[in-house]
Amino acid sequence: MESKVVKFGGSSLADAVQFKKVADIIRADNARKYVVASAPGKRNDDDIKVTDLLYKCFELAIAKKSIDDIFEKIRERYNSIISDLELDFSLDEELDAIKAGIIHRAGRDYVASRGEYLNAMVLAAYLGYDFIDAETCIFFDDNGNLDTEKTNRVLSELLIQHSRAVIPGFYGCMSNGSIKTFSRGGSDITGSIVARAIGADIYENWTDVSGMLMADPRIVDNPKVIDVITYGELRELSYMGASVMHEDAIFPVKVSNIPINIRNTNAPDDPGTMIVPSASVGSANIITGIAGRKGFSIINIEKDMMNAEIGFGRRVLEVLENHKVCFEHLPSSIDTMSVVISTSELRSTKYEMVAEIAKVVNADRVTVEDGIALIAVVGRSMERAKGTAGRIFAAIAKQDINIKMIDQGSSERNIIIGIEENDYKTAIRAIYSEFVK
* Candidate ranges 179-187, 193-201, 338-346, 387-395; the one touching ligand ASP (CB under 6 A): 179-187
10 binds ligand ASP (CB under 6 A): yes
Considering the complex, what minimum distance in angstroms separates the CB of residue 52 from ligand ASP? 7
- Min CB(384)–ligand ASP separation in Å: 37
Q: Is 27 in the site for ligand ASP (CB under 6 A)?
A: no
CB atoms within 10 A of CB 176: 7
Instruction: Mark out the alpha helices in 160-218 (DSSP H runs).
Output: 187-198
Asked if residue 148 lies in contact with residue 156, where contact means CB atoms within 8 angstroms, the answer is no
Residue 53, C-beta contacts closer than 8 angstroms, at least 6 positions apart: 70, 73, 74
Is residue 260 a contact residue for ligand ASP (CB under 6 A)?
A: no
Binding to ligand ASP by CB under 6 A, coded x per residue (else -) over 39-68, reads x---------x-x-----------------
Nearer to ligand ASP by C-beta: 174 or 279?
Answer: 174
Which range touches ligand ASP (CB under 6 A), out of 185-193, 288-296, 344-352, 420-428? 185-193
Q: Which strand (E) or helix (H) includes residue 203?
A: strand 202-207
Closest CA to 148 of 202, 164, 156: 156
Task: Decide whether 40 or 379 has the Cβ nearer to ligand ASP.
Answer: 40
Nearer to ligand ASP, 37 or 214 (CB): 37
| Residue 6: partners with Cβ closer than 8 Å, 6 or more residues away | 25, 26, 32, 34, 35, 36, 191, 204, 206
* Cβ(304)–Cβ(273) below 8 Å: no
Chain-centroid distance of CA 196 in Å reads 18
95 or 228: whose CB is closer to ligand ASP? Answer: 95
Query: What's the rounded Cα separation, in Å, for the pair 306 and 151?
Result: 50
Task: Specify the residue, 171 or 435, whose C-beta has the smaller distance to ligand ASP.
Answer: 171
Q: Which of residues 345-374 bind ligand ASP (CB under 6 A)?
A: none
With vertex at residue 67, the alpha carbon angle to CA 92 and CA 19, rounded to the nearest 5 degrees, is: 45
In angstroms, give the least distance from the CB of 193 to ligand ASP: 13
What DSSP element (H or E) covers 415? strand 414-420
Query: What backbone phi and psi angles, to 5 degrees, belong to 299?
Result: -95, 120
Residue (189 or 301) nearer to ligand ASP, CB: 189
169 binds ligand ASP (CB under 6 A): yes
38 binds ligand ASP, rule: CB under 6 A: yes
CB 233 within 8 A of CB 289: yes
**CA distances for 79 relative to 122, 310, 334, angstroms:** 10, 69, 68
Sheet holding 32-37, edge to edge: 130-131, 165-168, 32-37, 4-8, 202-207, 260-264, 273-276, 228-230
Using the rule CB under 6 A, is 168 a contact of ligand ASP? no
Query: How many amino acids of this chain bind ligand ASP (CB under 6 A)?
Result: 12
Asked whether position 252 contacts ligand ASP by CB under 6 A, the answer is no
Q: Does 232 bind ligand ASP (CB under 6 A)?
A: no
Question: Of 82-90, 184-192, 274-282, 312-320, which part binds ligand ASP (CB under 6 A)?
Answer: 184-192
* Residues linked to residue 202 through DSSP beta bridges, in sequence order: 4
Residue 71 beta carbon to ligand ASP: minimum distance, rounded to whole angstroms: 17
Q: Does 115 bind ligand ASP (CB under 6 A)?
A: yes
Among 8, 71, 78, 170, the residue binding ligand ASP under the rule CB under 6 A is 170
Q: Which is nearer to ligand ASP, 207 or 288 (CB)?
A: 207
Note whether 186 binds ligand ASP by CB under 6 A.
Answer: yes
User: Of these, 20, 73, 105, 184, which contacts ligand ASP (CB under 6 A)?
Assistant: 184
212 conformational bin, left if phi > 0, alpha if psi -120 to 50, beta if neither: beta
What is the binding site for ligand ASP (CB under 6 A)?
10, 38-39, 49, 51, 115, 169-170, 184-187
